[in-house]
Structure 1
Amino acid sequence: MSGWSDAAYGMGEAVLELDRVSVRYPEASAPTLREVDLSIEEGELVLVVGRTGSGKSTLLGTLNGHVPHFTGGLLTGRVRVLGRDTATHRPRDLADIVGVVGQDPVAGFVTDTVEEELAYGMEQLALPPTTMRKRVEETLDLLGIADLRAAPLRDLSGGQQQRVAIGSVLTTQPRILVLDEPTSALDPTGAEEVLATLTRLVHDLGVTIVIAEHRLERVIQYADRVVEVVDGRVRSGSPAEIMRDATVAPPVVELGRYAAWSPLPVSIRDARRAAAPLRARLGGLGAPLLTSASRGSSTVDTLQGVHSSLTSASRSSLTVPTPGIRATGLRVDHGRVRAVRGVDLAVPAGRVTALMGRNGAGKSSLLWALHGTGTRSAGRVAVTDGSDPATLKPVARRARVGLVPQTASDLIYLDSVGAECDQADAESAKPTGTCRALLDDLAPGIPADRHPRDLSEGQKLALVLAIQLTAGPDVVLLDEPTRGLDYPAKTRLAGIVRGLAGHGHTVLISTHDVEFVADAADEVVVMAEGEVVAHGPTPDVVAASAAFAPQVAKVLAPAPLLTVAQVRQALAEAGDVG
């Protein structure tokens, strides 16, 4: 994009400065941020990393005054944005220089259509109509959403909504962009396009970009600097320096740590160059058997008696699965848009099945139709006992099919985490504490008296997932369940869904998270333009795909390995520990 105004400061000058900044929220037992000193220069792309709930979103919120002006709480220290002190400049006073894209794009929409949303920020800045029109057109092309110009925002997929949210900020041409999980709802190709756009803004126009992201495998190779937040304290350095012992790390870094590569690679290219000796060792082992048991740590009894753990022997015995839910001739129309086109699909019980495809492929529409509460234009759905979820009353449906939607907060309505858990136990006739135990396994340490709206997006998702799993449904449908989850939380989630499958449940997960699929899924269904275009075992479907292949597969090809855990297991079983 062209037209960014000249900055009134020199190259290399700090545009964001935090001086001994601490943030404490009302009734919190400890500060969320502690004595943070941080200086970010013009034209830097800074990646903020850390565990879920570590304080990343609060740190980002301080950069435009959202914290504490909107969130409440006490901020001590000083935050300066291009010389403006956030103590005296509220977010509206910084809107001309700082653009912010939050975790939940829908929450930030104020208009009805894509074009109107892209223009709204410029209207608030009173830009001339000709300028507004030019920038809207540039942004539509930049993000590849020109065909959605007149589309209602409510009809877009989650990934399309996220692109619009980013675009609505880009049209105001800020000097600083702050993005919280900007690729979380995007398919791999869409994420690459958005990140390429952001990188171009940094290198061609000197825009400063600060990104908090859990899917580090997508972003870290573009970062100039990494800021890690651990229990409210921060440290910063080069990506390789911070990743050497960071609390969270992408698979390519985990592989580099395991193989003791130096310097530590953070990109596929650098890891591929370092991996030649490891590929040679693996090449001499023969093709290892990729079973569910080799996907990571063993599944613990996370469901506290609701579901049992699964041994590798019982998992490997499930060779001829019984369909847990079947769709026949399923069609979904949203107005003039045919989202699902006559799909015939049998999802097996006792397996974890991933549903993948680009944004707008029809994945969410299919999940809601299978659940029985979404739109169906034609076709039929049947669970194992032959019943159609659409014909069941809510209580009966909850025991048959559970669905966790993309926007988890849609299913949260009480005023505390404890109340939500107690209600879930009561509605499902489970022992008190069942839901809470599930929540602690997914996201430990959330206070029972915390209001759900004060949780991070990852914590909200964990709460809703725990509520749904409390009922022990025969079929579990998850729509983008890893949004907002850090790597340890995703590992725990993978263990839980494998445990559900091992207990005979049907698990279908719509996701763009290829690393989670590699760890958790037995098989993959790929959709395109409302149709199923591929269905098979996970290694067969993802390993050869440029878009869907996980990092380890790209680094170690042609070895048929998808995760670091599989590499460890293959070498250990061969007695190769050198």
Structure 2
Amino acid sequence: MITFDQVTVHYEDTAEPVLRDVNLTVEEGELCLVVGHTGVGKSTLLGAVNGLVPHFTGGTLHGRVTVDGRDTADHPPRELADVVGVVGQDPLDGFVTDTVEEELAYAMEQLAVPPATMRKRVEETLDLLGLADLRHRALHELSGGQQQRVAIGSVLTAHPRVLVLDEPTSALDPTAAEEVLAAVTRLVHDLGVTVLLAEHRLERVVQYADRVIHLPGDGRVVSGPPAEIFRTSSIAPPIVELGRTAGWSPLPLSIRDARRAAAPLRTRLSGVVPPAVRPAPDADRPRLLTARGITVTYQGVPAVREVDLDLRSGEITALMGRNGSGKSSLLWALQGSGPRKAGSVSVGQPGDPKAPDPRKVSATEARRLVGLVPQTPTDLLYLESVKQELDQADAESGVAADGIPARTLLDRLAPGIADTTHPRDLSEGQKLALVLAIQLAAAPRVVLLDEPTRGLDYRAKAELTTIVDGLAAEGRTVVISTHDVEFVARAADRVVVMAEGDIVADGPTAEVIVASPVFAPQTAKILAPLPYLAVDQLASVLDSDGTDPSA
């Protein structure tokens, strides 16, 4: 179905090719998982399948890419639209209509699908992706996860033979991600659709993959069965890391298989108290932000309902909940620039009458009080190069006096980004890293991050954990709105769960997420009822035990 024959892709502003001498064949009805660190060329590989590379991205493509017998060099994307459906990293970039129903029908209109068939496919897709209740909603009113599902649905209605998905679950909560992946798997198994799927949250998708395409970062592409590739790959989900640590062979790729393999290990570790993932924060730490009665509505519909929240110095809080539960609305209300129908926010010591409300001070002062990185980081990028953005952040933050330069922060999150690169030419993960660096350069007392791990690989998420730990150590408080349960298990001291605009759970990370079948990380599911959250805990216990973990 898809063939790469000695394909090399080189961009003018890069010293080395992004892809080098790639030979690859993807058969009909395969679900191929494309993995690799941020910026290694995954999006370039996917873009070559429907002709976006090089027809729209520029650069030079050597070799030959064919899809269903069509050479992409001779067929631009519009001539491949009936064969290849593409969903990019940012769904907003692909929307061309105003409402959900219109967006689902648009691709079929361009392909001259008969009206009766269009109506039937729209209804099927609404049910398939759980969008029936949103059919008349405006696209800009949807949450990020809802927009992602609409983007996938708009492609599925055209019934393509090849489906290319770039980070399809990055904005989805765990339940919605499972629903989307189940729908994609049905397309593969029941209709023979060929799927190329790039995803950083490998723990969600690895069990569905027929084959893994690994980009090590030197332009090469390595392809093979998932268990074989992950045995030695530089990037792997927690279930694979756990299998490597425990010495299991073959490596399990599903929770069910891993639990079976872990039965002897659970027995041997029974009664052993694992080390804490994170040191317990000081119980007497002062309160930095106090929110009371926060209420947010949109056109009369409540998004946040009279929420009370206290954020303390040195604390990292994860804000979780399904898509549309009110997480982003709460963050914007706390930051001050978002709508707030009722309630108050003060940043400072409790009881201090001079503790300011970020909504009532200048933009510069508000940024030093509360910094917010939104779900769509490009909203904060407006200059012509990465260097200009970083220099502007340093100038506005007075970083020369007492802060960390934005370039230093960026290199820790996503190393190797050239100063001359235009921000809009970066991958989604790189854009997010750039905006994180810009906002953190101001060193605000309260840091709010809305889905910061979207588009970041495991290495970058580890660096992000180090950075937020450093902020907490300096006495700041950090709130991270996320669906990434693996990141929460390692990075958060406290978890707050929202539903329908209310806070329904609030407590220490281990207590909240282990008790939830939805939010529990893979290690907790595999080793339950033992109290483990991360692979590092198991590795530490096995090292101190000094015995063969596979025995």
Alignment match, 1:418: 387
Contact kept, 8 Å, 1:514 with 1:548, in 2: the verdict is: yes
Residues 396-433 of structure 1, C-alpha deviations (whole Å, 9 max, x = no match): 01111100000011101111111111111111111297
Contact kept, 8 Å, 2:170 with 2:454, in 1: the verdict is: yes
Alignment match, 1:530: 501
CA distance in 2, matches of 1:120, 1:181: 22
CA distance in 2, matches of 1:530, 1:34: 49
Q: Which amino acid aligns with 1:522?
A: D
Residue 572 of structure 1 deviates from its aligned partner by 4.1
Q: Which amino acid aligns with 1:174?
A: P
Alignment match, 1:90: 76
Q: TM-score, normalised by structure 2?
A: 0.96
Alignment match, 1:396: 365
CA distance in 2, matches of 1:577, 1:39: 40
Contact kept, 8 Å, 1:189 with 1:547, in 2: the verdict is: yes
Q: Which amino acid aligns with 1:501?
A: A
Range 427-436 or range 392-401, more displaced? 427-436
Residues 362-377 of structure 1 correspond to what in structure 2 (within 5 A)?
A: 362-377=326-341
Matched, 1:340 2:304: yes
Matched, 1:271 2:242: no
Aligned length: 541
Alignment match, 1:53: 39
Matched, 1:209 2:187: no
CA distance in 1, matches of 2:267, 2:284: 35
Distance 1:500 1:245, change over 3 A: same
Residues 77-113 of structure 1, C-alpha deviations (whole Å, 9 max, x = no match): 0000100001110000000010000000001101111
Contact kept, 8 Å, 2:145 with 2:323, in 1: the verdict is: yes
Q: TM-score, normalised by structure 1?
A: 0.92
* Structure 1 unmatched ranges of 5 or more: 1-14, 294-315
Alignment match, 1:570: 541
Alignment match, 2:352: none
Q: Which amino acid aligns with 1:333?
A: T
Distance 1:225 1:346, change over 3 A: same
Residues 444-496 of structure 1, C-alpha deviations (whole Å, 9 max, x = no match): 11111111111110000000000000010000000000011000110111111
CA distance in 2, matches of 1:338, 1:102: 31
Q: Which amino acid aligns with 1:426?
A: A
Q: 2:269 aligns with which of 282, 295, 303?
A: 282
Residue 289 of structure 1 deviates from its aligned partner by 5.0
Alignment match, 1:165: 151
Residue 575 of structure 1 deviates from its aligned partner by 6.0
Partner-residue secondary structure (3-state), 1:516: helix
Residue 327 of structure 1 deviates from its aligned partner by 1.4
CA distance in 2, matches of 1:106, 1:61: 18
Residues 24-77 of structure 1, C-alpha deviations (whole Å, 9 max, x = no match): 112211111101001000000000000101110000000000000000010010
Q: 2:205 aligns with which of 212, 215, 219?
A: 219
Matched, 1:262 2:249: yes
* Structure 2 unmatched ranges of 5 or more: 350-354
Partner-residue secondary structure (3-state), 1:265: coil
Residue 382 of structure 1 deviates from its aligned partner by 1.2
Matched, 1:107 2:93: yes
Q: 1:507 aligns with which of 475, 478, 487?
A: 478
Residue 322 of structure 1 deviates from its aligned partner by 2.5
Alignment match, 2:320: 356
Partner-residue secondary structure (3-state), 1:53: coil
CA RMSD of aligned residues (A): 1.3
Matched, 1:193 2:179: yes
Alignment match, 2:518: 547
Partner-residue secondary structure (3-state), 2:260: helix
CA distance in 2, matches of 1:532, 1:559: 28
Q: Which amino acid aligns with 1:16?
A: I
Q: Which amino acid aligns with 2:247?
A: A
Alignment match, 1:313: none
Range 121-130 or range 154-163, more displaced? 121-130
Partner-residue secondary structure (3-state), 2:221: strand
Residues 550-574 of structure 1, C-alpha deviations (whole Å, 9 max, x = no match): 0000000111110011222334456
Alignment match, 1:560: 531
Partner-residue secondary structure (3-state), 2:418: coil
Matched, 1:431 2:400: yes
Residue 577 of structure 1 deviates from its aligned partner by 6.9
Range 345-354 or range 437-446, more displaced? 345-354
Q: Which amino acid aligns with 1:403?
A: L
CA distance in 2, matches of 1:566, 1:405: 32
Q: Which amino acid aligns with 1:467?
A: I
Residues 306-365 of structure 1, C-alpha deviations (whole Å, 9 max, x = no match): xxxxxxxxxx46123322222111000011321101111112221110000000000000
Alignment match, 2:416: 445
Alignment match, 2:288: 324
Alignment match, 2:221: 234
Q: 1:247 aligns with which of 226, 230, 234?
A: 234
Q: 2:112 aligns with which of 112, 126, 133?
A: 126
CA distance in 2, matches of 1:149, 1:43: 30
Contact kept, 8 Å, 1:282 with 1:571, in 2: the verdict is: no
Residue 283 of structure 1 deviates from its aligned partner by 1.1
